[in-house]
Copies of this chain bind each other. A is one copy, B any other.
């Protein structure tokens, strides 16, 4: 079978109809079509019906962006979201919270992943700005968000979520990281533990530092000295957490409880305890929830974030700004909660 050069079927690609086409078919002026499509008043119902019929017959879809060019408010009805990664379950849930509020306002969400690359954060914002989103929700990754000021000045509001922005006056919505961590440690102490270890994420991440602060505060409040050998920050992944736990267990006086400050770290901790066969002796509370955390034995006690609430509140703040709220910047703290499922209730040594 041969294919002759001239015979390539060109995609029929019949041009998209415009308001002009609809107007011509309905026998009215363009402005009348515009009025009908936008539900404006001053159109007789007979004319409106004709226009709607013509629009339906042509499968007319108004071009939102073309309209925005001249429209007074120039709204694209689109929000820009910058997150670590859309594949990250935490980010996905925040995204969902935002989307729900956005949809209620007739808005769509344009999400861009930055994979914890500081430069990608700026690129993402630039790309969103070129598309003229009406507002930004940003999870800060770089250590300076001042580059966002231009957009705020031009009337495109910015709300930061999960982490606080630096060098930028902007609304922000964060979980109570310090309080959550403190509650976790207090819970362990209340169950009789005095040697509580801290395993955390790399500390270039703001939230990692805050959770460590919470740990330190709770230990101090309980009048317990912190053995520096039990504090292990800077764990980038699951495997390093597993290794760290094995080192802790080999200590002459190992910890009797572990506070793990992050999802992936928690997975590594549990693995290590299981490998050592000590998951029923050493207590463990993790920050962030783990799917199937209640199926592990013992069930994983966790400090869970209200991800949906984070997204919802962020979107609400953004829409308030879009509605003209010019008040001072707000800082919303969304509470975390401790879910006890077994691993955190293992009792420490009797005094």
The total of chain A residues at the interface (CB under 8 A) is: 62
Q: How far is the CB of A165 from chain B (nearest CB, A)?
A: 18
Decide: A64 and B130 in contact? CB cutoff 8 A.
yes
> In the complex, which residues 293-331 of chain A have their Cβ closer than 8 Å to any Cβ of chain B?
293-297, 308, 326
Residues of B within 8 A of A121 (CB): none
Q: A11-B155, A153-B14 are in contact. Are A63 and B295 (CB under 8 A)?
A: no
Asked if A109 CB lies within 8 Å of chain B CBs, one says yes
Residues of B within 8 A of A294 (CB): 271
Residues of B within 8 A of A86 (CB): 86, 92, 95-96, 99, 111
> In the complex, which residues 72-108 of chain A have their Cβ closer than 8 Å to any Cβ of chain B?
76, 78, 85-89, 91-93, 95-96, 99, 108
Q: How far is the CB of A284 from chain B (nearest CB, A)?
A: 12
Decide: A65 and B132 in contact? CB cutoff 8 A.
yes
Asked if A225 CB lies within 8 Å of chain B CBs, one says no
Residues of B within 8 A of A49 (CB): none
Q: How far is the CB of A151 from chain B (nearest CB, A)?
A: 9
Decide: A153 and B296 in contact? CB cutoff 8 A.
no
Which residue on B lies nearest to A321, using beta carbons?
B11
Asked if A350 CB lies within 8 Å of chain B CBs, one says no
Considering the chains assembled together, what is the distance between the CA atoms of A62 and B155 in angstroms? 17
Asked if A61 CB lies within 8 Å of chain B CBs, one says yes
Q: How far is the CB of A198 from chain B (nearest CB, A)?
A: 21
Decide: A154 and B13 in contact? CB cutoff 8 A.
yes
> Binary interface profile of A, 23-35, with partner B (CB < 8 Å = 1, else 0)?
0000000000000
Q: Which of B89, B99, B326 contacts A89 (CB 8 A)?
A: B89
Decide: B131 and A78 in contact? CB cutoff 8 A.
yes
Q: A68-B65, A86-B92, A292-B290 are in contact. Are A113 and B130 (CB under 8 A)?
A: no
Residues of B within 8 A of A85 (CB): 96
Residues of B within 8 A of A296 (CB): 292, 295-297
Q: A109-B110, A131-B78 are in contact. Are A326 and B291 (CB under 8 A)?
A: no
Additional pairs, 17, CB under 8 Å, beyond known A87-B308, A109-B110: A14-B154, A64-B130, A65-B131, A66-B69, A76-B131, A78-B131, A86-B86, A86-B96, A87-B93, A88-B92, A89-B291, A108-B128, A267-B292, A274-B297, A292-B292, A292-B295, A295-B296
| 10 A-B interface contacts by CB (under 8 A) | A11-B155, A65-B76, A69-B69, A86-B96, A86-B111, A87-B89, A108-B112, A108-B127, A108-B128, A296-B297
- Top 5 closest pairs, chain A to chain B, by CB: A87-B96, A65-B65, A13-B155, A291-B291, A92-B92
